[in-house]
Amino acid sequence: MARIKTDFLVLGSGIAGLTFAIKAAQMHPDRRVLVLTKTDTGESNTRYAQGGVAAVWDMEKDTYEKHIADTLDAGDGLCKRDIVEIVVHEGPERVREIIEWGARFDREKDDANRYDLAREGGHSEHRILHYKDLTGWEMQRTLMETARQFPNIEILEHYFALDLITQHHLGRMVIRVTPDIECYGCYALHKETGEIDTILSRVTVLCTGGAGQVYKTTTNPVIATGDGIAMTYRAKGRVENMEFVQFHPTALYNPAGENPAFLISEAVRGFGGILKTAEGEEFMHLYDPRQSLAPRDIVARAIDSEMKKRGTDCMYLDCRHLDKDAFVAHFPTIYEKCLSLGIDPMKDLIPVAPACHYMCGGIRVDAWGRSSIHRLYAAGECSSTGLHGANRLASNSLLEAMVFAHRIAHDTRERVGQWTYQDDVPDWNAEGTTDPQEMVLITQGLKELKEIMSYYVGIVRSNIRLKRALDRLFLLYQETEDLYRTTTISPQLMELRNLITIAYLITRSASHRRESRGLHYTTDYPNCQPFIEHSVL
Ligand code: FAD
Ligand code: SIN
């Protein structure tokens, strides 16, 4: 059981974690920046981002006001306007920065001096910078190569953060309203040795990403288990807006089942793809005048409703009228993936269905990424900054992660020297635990959890469904806590525990919201209420 000390402890190596690490390393060449990541450095939600990063770029056509208005409109009254203004105004500078670090975004065919700006649902202008349909892969590559150039950044792979360390570990009672909770670092499982190390830090930054794995079908890779949000909630930090789970309308429907589900980027609809029935008829005009390019919550609900009406497992995306060369150049991965399943996008309708995609809520942070726990910051998908409100606008997520990583680096610039290590933190206590007798208890628990969330807390909710979900979750929680108390820690057990917490937070927040707004739709309260509140737990 090692004890490790670091000035900056960063949990997660996606866009938020690596952007922060690079900035902290640049600002403090003499300080240590330690990044923990639970599998390989490159495995993250970031790596799978397709559509791109939204930023006001073409100043002849686009304006900050338009991007702000689009973000507020998608967020359905729950965005924090000051945060939207910060992200939209500071975003282009962060995009320029990653371009300087080496990110290649596609340029126009006829004018190599101009970036090829795409359009997605809810955007009134073309403002999405992208690298084919592999934008996230390109950004992740750039960040990993840049981070490697800094000798004071160390990345520890296959290190699983288990719990945040606070005064609770020093024997002090800590409850959710304790005003001065402090974070001293974390306990982390070194997956290769099985040892649990104590990592002490002056500053801890959570960049652990989303939690799509709480649903049966998701575009998120298997690492997306909401660990940072669950750890913060266990440490008695504030979490908010968890009911706003974004379902992407167009994951590729594969009857064989695939985890993660492959995404058909919204940029395909921005490129001219049209949603249709199996008979080739359009239906989106029945739901919104923006049709296939309406914001995601509207399109996902429309597809869900059409599927339920018809008793089918998918609807379709028609790309047959599009120029083949241009389509293949823009979407080579999508094209190849469809072909691999025997679907030729130029000849066949592409079967699509909604899949859990993005967590709009998360760890409540202020405009500088500070959580409710001192010395603990959060950025990226695990955080709730107020940018997305009740529904995230497409391609605003990568932008938000970069803007907040930058802001946290600035906020901690002076403060890091004022915070000292808490040397009297005890080592992890594994007394009374033994190796698991039956892993099936964990794997079956996970299956049950996903079923509960998919059937009762999906795109359409109701009081009775939410109550059923809470009752079943409670049982699963009790059984899993029993296992946790008696069993040697494993990543699978911790992920199940974390996902149960996420499921509980989503379901409880959904039960509190007695209205339909943005991504939260309930048949018991189908309308928006005039008084809007953030659901803080
Ligand atoms: P991630 O990139 O998910 O990184 C999380 C990191 O935390 C990983 O390194 C993981 O290993 C680590 N981690 C997690 N738990 C632990 C733990 N317990 N211990 C140690 N490490 C841990 N957004 C856009 O803006 N534009 C797009 O085009 C776009 N397309 C998308 C397409 C897909 C298929 C998906 C899934 C998402 C897409 N998104 C898009 C959303 C966007 O990719 C993510 O929101 C964003 O990349 C999240 O970045 P992050 O740094 O917060 O987290
Ligand atoms: C997509 O390419 O459709 C995903 C974009 C996003 O999630 O922002």
> What backbone torsions phi and psi does residue 144 show, to the nearest 5 degrees?
-65, -40
Question: What's residue 296's pLDDT?
Answer: 86
Predicted confidence (pLDDT) per residue in 484-495, tens digit: 999 999 999 999
Domains and CATH numbers, the chain: 250-354 (3.90.700.10), 440-522 (1.20.58.100)
Band (145; pLDDT cuts 50, 70, 90): very high
Pocket lining: 397 vs ligand 2, CB cutoff 6 Å? yes
Pocket lining: 518 vs ligand 1, CB cutoff 6 Å? no
Q: What is the pTM of this model?
A: 0.97
133-152: average pLDDT = 98
Q: Which residues are catalytic?
A: 296
Band (531; pLDDT cuts 50, 70, 90): low
Residue 236 in tokens: 């008695």
Band (120; pLDDT cuts 50, 70, 90): confident
Question: What's residue 51's pLDDT?
Answer: 92
- Cα of 473 vs centre of ligand 2, distance in Å, is 30
Protein residue closest via CA to atom 40 of ligand 1: 49
Band (240; pLDDT cuts 50, 70, 90): very high
Band (245; pLDDT cuts 50, 70, 90): very high
Pocket lining: 401 vs ligand 1, CB cutoff 6 Å? yes
Predicted confidence (pLDDT) per residue in 30-70, tens digit: 999 999 999 999 999 999 999 999 999 999 999 999 999 99
Distance CA 326, CA 319 (A): 12
111-129: average pLDDT = 92
Pocket lining: 394 vs ligand 2, CB cutoff 6 Å? yes
**Ligand in nearest proximity to the CA of 10:** 1
pLDDT over 70 at 482, yes or no: yes
Question: What's residue 67's pLDDT?
Answer: 98
Distance CA 11, CA 16 (A): 10
194-212: average pLDDT = 97
Pocket lining: 19 vs ligand 1, CB cutoff 6 Å? no
- Cα of 46 vs centre of ligand 1, distance in Å, is 4
Protein residue closest via CA to atom 25 of ligand 1: 395
Question: What's residue 434's pLDDT?
Answer: 82
Residue to probe by mutation, ligand 2, list 127, 218, 248, most atoms within 8 Å of CB: 248
- Cα of 307 vs centre of ligand 1, distance in Å, is 29
Pocket lining: 304 vs ligand 2, CB cutoff 6 Å? no
Q: What is the b/e burial string over 243-263, where b = at least 16 CB atoms within 10 angstroms of the residue's CB?
A: bbbbbbbbbbbbeeeeebbbb
The vertex-381 CA angle with 142 and 204, nearest 5°, equals 80
114-123: average pLDDT = 91
Which carries the bigger pLDDT value, residue 400 or residue 534?
Answer: 400
Note whether 384 and 401 are within 8 A (CB).
Answer: no
Question: What's residue 1's pLDDT?
Answer: 86
pLDDT over 80 at 436, yes or no: no
24-30: average pLDDT = 98
Predicted confidence (pLDDT) per residue in 174-188, tens digit: 999 998 999 999 999
CB within 8 A of 144, min separation 6: which ones? 13, 18, 41, 42
Note whether 194 and 3 are within 8 A (CB).
Answer: no
Residue to probe by mutation, ligand 1, list 44, 117, 360, 497, most atoms within 8 Å of CB: 44
Q: Give the DSSP letter string of 84-100.
A: HHHHHHHHHHHHHHHHH
Pocket lining: 266 vs ligand 2, CB cutoff 6 Å? yes
Residue to probe by mutation, ligand 1, list 20, 37, 45, 127, most atoms within 8 Å of CB: 45
Question: How many CB atoms within 10 Å of residue 452?
Answer: 25
Pocket lining: 44 vs ligand 1, CB cutoff 6 Å? yes
Protein residue closest via CA to atom 36 of ligand 1: 220
Distance CA 255, CA 87 (A): 39
Question: What's residue 534's pLDDT?
Answer: 76
Which residue reads 């002849």 in tokens?
A: 60
- Cα of 179 vs centre of ligand 1, distance in Å, is 30
pLDDT over 90 at 433, yes or no: no
